[in-house]
Structure 1
Amino acid sequence: MTATTQATVARGTPPTTPIRKRGIASRTPRAFYWMVLPAFVLFFLLHTVPVLQGVFYSFTDSPGYGPYEFVGFANYQALFTDPRVIHAYLFTFQFAIVATVLVNVIALAVAVALNSRIKFRTTLRAVYFIPYVLAVLVVGYVFQYLFSISIPAMAQALGNERFSTSILSDESLAWIAIVVLAVWQAAAFNIVLYLAGLQTVPHELYEAASLDGAGAWRQFRSITFPMIWGFFVINMVLALKGFLQVFDHIVAMTGGGPGTATESVGLLIYKGGFQGGEFGYQLANAVVFMIVIIVFALVQFRVLQREDTSA
């Protein structure tokens, strides 16, 4: 014991040197790791291992069964010259961009309306969330009947020849029906996120803006939208990622037709890999598509974040 410590103890003041309780500091991290280990093992076995296997088989000519040979980067080189693959990517990008813009515009408008002082606001929130909990395939078959039977029948009754036949059989219009289904089904989740963001905006700001003579549009542009910009970024990134992976909507509505007009990348990977004997080739397509989605999400997030900081 040093002279300073002895003097401190003699004055009755406890020493400032902390007293470590042996075992407590070491038991907490160990318990934490034991809690995380089961989830880590399951994630590694059910996610990481299949991904690594898929990357491995993407360098082979495997049909999904039996023997196979390594072909190096031949599958990846063939992807960039395959017209069917190029068309699938163009269609997927077109669909995802249009659907992302529409779903965010509609969801934000509905959320702002629900957040205002209207009657039955709580009931309407529950009603708008119903499409999100319904199975996409089930709803897709309902929309298929709507666009194939109901709308043409009404168009014939009204004398409209343009829509007297199903747009699902029109190569230039079939994708619109898929956009309608996707936006209707996905808007519910975006509405919930926007409502959560609107709850964080102080009501005092609107009162002050009203006293200054700001109208509804000026309040939205100067107060509401800047305050919920973080929620807007999240919705845009999640919506684009989800729509790039569109699959169930197309299976239920058109099956990729007419011809290959509405064939997305996900549907092409499924058809070619599991039905067309192109297992290794479509796995290479899946790897490229995974990289594309990651790059799109990162770029979109960085651009929107930069606009937030500049504003």
Structure 2
Amino acid sequence: MAKKKAAFYTMTIPALLLFFLFHTFPTLQGIFYSFTNWDGYSDSYDFVGFKNFASLFTDGNVLNAYMFTFKYAIVVTIFINVLSLLIALGLNSRIKFRNFFRGIYFLPNVLGVLIVGYIFNYIFANAVPMIGEKLGSEMLATNILGSEKWAWIGIVIVAVWQGIAFNTILYLAGLQTIPRDIYEAADIDGAGTWSRFWSMTFPMLASFFTINMVLAMKNSLMVFDQIVALTGGGPGRATQSIAMLIYQGGFQGGEFAYQSANAVIYFIVIVIISVVQLNFLQKRELDA
């Protein structure tokens, strides 16, 4: 018994120390600096209390970043879950080479986000305009990433294309837990395709739907890599997410303490949204 305890502590204590060193300690440092006016490179700083937090609510750039991030997260979360569920339903049917197609659909999740972003950057900036010119389409001939109005759509396309891979696998796992017997009984009763899905399939996928919705929303709210690879937050500040603003202002703009306060608020917002989502969707699971 003593040897088991010793082995347990030998394995867990180093992991806990590393987690504290590289995660918890920097988090506590960020919270500490959020109450100061440190610019990130000076040797001295002063405590300013809640001044940074108060300024965030009147900062136009911060409010613009939050509005863009929320709009982006809602659209991406909806599209990822709708498309991944449709793909999972298709792959779960008795089609030929379905295991091959499952591998193909999961491939985007294996690729690095920055790599995918740079590839799509080239596609949007060169390939699509070239095709648009040949087709005589003015809309396609324009680089969508250079438009303040439509650049965010390009980011959504990339995020959805890569995000549906993981969600599809989870929905497939959920579909495989549903007994085939109930579908046979539904066929005998003459239930239609939509009736079977809405009354039987979807309620039994409720827990998987909850997981996918929460994960998709959380990942979308933390969008950063796609924006770095595609637009850099531009044109202007049209696609500047909260994470991008914190990075640019904190590490490049001499606003380390100010953006640390922004990061604290950002963390609280993500926690609140995730908790509200979980409570709402889990109540729906019980109702289903």
TM-score range, shorter chain: over 0.9
Q: Give TM-score scaled by structure 1 length.
A: 0.89
Pick one of 163, 169, 180 that aligns with 1:192: 169
Pick one of 107, 113, 117 that aligns with 1:130: 107
Q: What secondary structure does 1:60 align onto?
A: coil
Cα distance in structure 2, aligned partners of 1:191 and 1:114: 9
Give 1:43's aligned residue. Answer: 19
1:73 matched to 2:11? The reply is no
Give 2:253's aligned residue. Answer: 276
Give 1:265's aligned residue. Answer: 242
Cα distance in structure 2, aligned partners of 1:155 and 1:202: 48
Give 2:37's aligned residue. Answer: 61
Give 2:151's aligned residue. Answer: 174
List aligned pairs for 1:101-120, cutoff 5 A. 101-120=78-97
Task: Report the residue type matching 1:248 in the other structure.
Answer: D
Aligned-residue CA RMSD (Å): 1.3
Cα distance in structure 2, aligned partners of 1:28 and 1:105: 47
Q: 1:3-46: CA deviations, max 9, x gaps?
A: xxxxxxxxxxxxxxxxxxxxx5x776565444432222221222
Task: Report the residue type matching 1:112 in the other structure.
Answer: L
Cα distance in structure 2, aligned partners of 1:59 and 1:72: 5
Cα distance in structure 1, aligned partners of 2:11 and 2:114: 37
1:230 matched to 2:188? The reply is no
Cα distance in structure 2, aligned partners of 1:165 and 1:224: 42
Provide the identity percentage.
Answer: 57
Give 2:218's aligned residue. Answer: 241
Give 1:288's aligned residue. Answer: 265
Cα distance in structure 1, aligned partners of 2:195 and 2:95: 20
Cα distance in structure 2, aligned partners of 1:310 and 1:197: 18
Give 1:148's aligned residue. Answer: 125
Q: 1:271-308: CA deviations, max 9, x gaps?
A: 00100000000000001000000000000110111122
Residues 64-73 or 255-264, more deviating? 64-73
CA drift of 1:218 comes to 1.4
Cα distance in structure 1, aligned partners of 2:15 and 2:254: 34
Cα distance in structure 1, aligned partners of 2:207 and 2:88: 15
Give 1:157's aligned residue. Answer: 134
Cα distance in structure 2, aligned partners of 1:214 and 1:298: 36
Q: Which gives a bigger RCO, structure 1 or 2 (Cα 8 Å, sep 6+)?
A: 2
Pick one of 186, 190, 209 that aligns with 2:186: 209
Q: Give TM-score scaled by structure 2 length.
A: 0.96
Cα distance in structure 2, aligned partners of 1:146 and 1:102: 21
Q: Give unpaired runs (5+ residues) of structure 1.
A: 1-23
Highest CA radius of gyration, 1 or 2?
1
Task: Report the residue type matching 1:39 in the other structure.
Answer: A
Cα distance in structure 1, aligned partners of 2:205 and 2:105: 20
Give 1:139's aligned residue. Answer: 116
Cα distance in structure 2, aligned partners of 1:158 and 1:192: 37
Cα distance in structure 1, aligned partners of 2:128 and 2:3: 66
CA drift of 1:163 comes to 2.6
Q: 1:132-156: CA deviations, max 9, x gaps?
A: 1111111111111111111122222
Cα distance in structure 1, aligned partners of 2:278 and 2:177: 22
Q: Give unpaired runs (5+ residues) of structure 2.
A: none
Task: Report the residue type matching 1:38 in the other structure.
Answer: P
Task: Report the residue type matching 1:269 in the other structure.
Answer: I
Cα distance in structure 2, aligned partners of 1:257 and 1:31: 52
